[in-house]
Amino acid sequence: MVNVRALANRGSTRVNANISATRRRSTGYTTATDGSRTPAYSDVPIALQIQALTYTDIIKLDALNIQGARRAIYTNGAVFALIRIAQKGGDLIIFPNNSLPEGNVWLAAHVLEQWNDGAGNPSWVKIAITLQDGS
pLDDT at position 23: 94
pLDDT at position 65: 73
Options 2.40.50, 2.40.10, 2.60.60, 1.10.287; which CATH number does 4-28+39-131 get? 2.40.10
pLDDT at position 36: 93
102: left (phi over 0), alpha (psi -120 to 50) or beta: alpha
pLDDT at position 103: 82
| Residue 125 half-sphere exposure toward CB, CA atoms < 13 A | 17
pLDDT at position 45: 96
Q: Could you report the average pLDDT of every consecutive run of 10 residues in the chain (135 residues)? A: 59 71 89 91 92 84 76 89 77 89 88 84 88 73
pLDDT at position 114: 87
Triad 15, 102, 111: Cα angle to 5° = 70
